[in-house]
Structure 1
Amino acid sequence: MIRNPYASGDPCVSVVIPTVPSNDHEDVVAALRNQTETAFEVLVVDDATLDICEARNAGIEAASADIVALTDDDCRPPPDWVASVASAFDREAVCVEGSVSGGRTYRGTGLYVGCNLAFDRDTALDAGGFRSEYAGWRDDTEFGWRMESYGPCRYDPAITMSHPDRTRASIDADKETRLQREYPAEYEERIVPETALGRVNDWLWRRGFWNAVDRIRYAEGSR
């Protein structure tokens, strides 16, 4: 099911939000109704039978605009988010990633975090969209790395996203291994840590230590 809670006559950006009926997505839609840019549309793909990759692909196919911007149902886009996305494509990029702050933080290291990612719709369709083999873990990273072979991809710090809560994703070792096997050069350059401290931190992360710490930290913060 795809809902269209906000639309203009000639949208410059199509915002796609993959979700499921059990998740609240009214707050993110409310934030999108408060944008400085008005010429855009919002497509909420609300279907529990689809994995996140299938939901994103359904939204891309249904989009009316040349530019598609992704965010998630637990994010809060600032008022200038859509305007910043539209401006980012003046330089003919095919994919642009932005920063994320809050329960999830990201500052643009070529990993293409899906809650703040925009791209050319036709290029994404030509590339085959998101691959369900990675659904739930690294699907956005794999998509971004694949898009790099179709044209310029870059980070734009002006495109910001608030992710108030901690991410719901947790590491999937099989998908992580698959990504490393399919993209060895990108993996070595962007994911494998360079320092001894970084390697220790990476070892702990892969074994779920930091996920456990986050669960305790957020549980205490909610009391």
Structure 2
Amino acid sequence: MKTTVLVPTYRRPQDLQRCLEALQNQQRLPDEVLIVLRATDQPTWNLLEQNTFSPLTIRTQIVEQPGQVAALNAGLDAASGDIIAITDDDAAPHPDWLKRIEAHFLADAQVGGVGGRDWVYMGGTLHGPTADQVVPRPIGQIQWFGRVVGNHHLGTDKPQEVAILKGANMSYRCTAIGSARFDPRLQGTGAQVHNDLGFSLAIKRQGWKLIYDPAIAVDHFPAQRFDKDRRDAFSYGATLDAAHNETLILMNYFAPFRRAIYLGWSILIGTRVKPGIVQLCRLLPREGLQSWQKGKAVLQGRWQGCRTWLGRTKKLT
């Protein structure tokens, strides 16, 4: 099967270099590496002009619109592989990454997507359990009331079918993708969080299997984001966008009865990251005024997400 590795990037040449060097060391080399970048990103262009990264076949695709959604969609439009493997520029796939991905697609024609674990390093230190500490846990699931469970970075003991693949380490069969694209209604000017959630559910809704295999691994070094979605501090706008995007995606995916359950749970209870009323009361003693700002941002994002969904514009196929 022909494989395209798709890497969207913006102003992170050192991270991209580490990613490409990891792709050079793949046991099963990609048939092409497609770098999606902006015309104005001169540091990245300099890297690509100064290094050949042999034996990789590297193609570039220019995107003018800011945001990860536009970059990923431009990559999907330009990719030529039977398998499209997507990773972040701040991730470094393990040497057997593509070999293991291809094996899953070859083994089962009903598999539409394959992903795996990202070993997250914060400041050079592993975040999460080591390999000998892995225990079975829910991975990439949506609970009946709408809570999204990721945990992709924590790993599990064996491959399993999931509902969600993580953007730093996911791949799809081209025939499963078809005309589906990442949802352009998602808010944000950079990361546009939860775009992987929406795309995973779009593929799953068509009846394809999504497989999470912890042995399909990348080392992930979360890098600087050049938008309001900072990794190290609370941002009202980023929290609002995350709540909007999650709400839009799940309202689009759920049947009417589950939509009502999800809205009730998310507004009354929620999570620590996207608190509803109950979680807000729990956070108040520890976070003070910031908890109220977080709660307000989430509520506003939920409201905007419902409005976007009701508009039914540019609906994801």
Name the TM-score, length of structure 2 as normaliser: 0.52
Q: How much identity, in percent, do the aligned residues show?
A: 27
In the alignment, the residues of structure 1 paired with residue 31 and residue 72 of structure 2 have an alpha-carbon distance, to the nearest angstrom, of: 17
Contact 2:3-2:82 at 8 Å conserved across structures: yes
Unmatched segments (≥5 aa) in structure 1? 1-10, 213-223
Alpha-carbon spacing, 1:180–1:62, altered in 2? closer, same or farther (3 Å): closer
Partner of 2:103 in structure 1?
Answer: 87
Counterpart code for 1:87: A
Alpha-carbon spacing, 1:178–1:123, altered in 2? closer, same or farther (3 Å): same
Contact 1:78-1:162 at 8 Å conserved across structures: yes
Contact 2:4-2:79 at 8 Å conserved across structures: yes
Q: Secondary structure at the match of 1:45?
A: strand
Partner of 1:218 in structure 2?
Answer: none
Q: What is the aligned counterpart of 1:26 among 13, 17, 23?
A: 17
Counterpart code for 1:154: I
**Number of aligned residue pairs:** 191
Q: Does 1:78 align with 2:94?
A: yes
Alpha-carbon spacing, 1:119–1:167, altered in 2? closer, same or farther (3 Å): farther
Q: Does 1:102 align with 2:120?
A: yes
Contact 1:132-1:139 at 8 Å conserved across structures: no
Q: Does 1:115 align with 2:168?
A: yes
In the alignment, the residues of structure 2 paired with residue 115 and residue 166 of structure 1 have an alpha-carbon distance, to the nearest angstrom, of: 12
In the alignment, the residues of structure 2 paired with residue 16 and residue 201 of structure 1 have an alpha-carbon distance, to the nearest angstrom, of: 29
Counterpart code for 1:26: Q
Larger Rg: 2
In the alignment, the residues of structure 1 paired with residue 210 and residue 174 of structure 2 have an alpha-carbon distance, to the nearest angstrom, of: 14
Q: How much does 1:15 deviate?
A: 0.2
Partner of 1:49 in structure 2?
Answer: 64
Partner of 1:133 in structure 2?
Answer: 185
Q: Secondary structure at the match of 1:89?
A: helix
Alpha-carbon spacing, 1:110–1:44, altered in 2? closer, same or farther (3 Å): same
In the alignment, the residues of structure 2 paired with residue 87 and residue 162 of structure 1 have an alpha-carbon distance, to the nearest angstrom, of: 21
Q: How much does 1:12 deviate?
A: 2.5
In the alignment, the residues of structure 2 paired with residue 89 and residue 147 of structure 1 have an alpha-carbon distance, to the nearest angstrom, of: 15
Q: Deviations over 1:121-174 (max 9, x none)?
A: 132133x21112126121111000010122222222221121122685554222
Once superposed, which parts of structure 1, at least 4 consecutive aligned residues long, lie more than 3 Å away?
Answer: 166-171, 184-189, 198-202
Counterpart code for 1:133: R
After TM superposition, list the pairs within 5 Å mapping 1:1-223 onto structure 2. Answer: 12-20=2-10, 22-24=11-13, 25-47=16-38, 49-50=64-65, 51-90=67-106, 91-92=108-109, 93-103=111-121, 106=152, 107=155, 110-126=163-179, 128-134=180-186, 136-150=192-206, 151-165=208-222, 168=225, 169=229, 170-171=238-239, 172=241, 173-184=243-254, 199-200=271-272, 203=275
In the alignment, the residues of structure 2 paired with residue 148 and residue 174 of structure 1 have an alpha-carbon distance, to the nearest angstrom, of: 21
Counterpart code for 2:219: S
Counterpart code for 2:185: E
Q: Secondary structure at the match of 2:36?
A: strand
Q: Secondary structure at the match of 1:131?
A: coil
Alpha-carbon spacing, 1:167–1:161, altered in 2? closer, same or farther (3 Å): farther
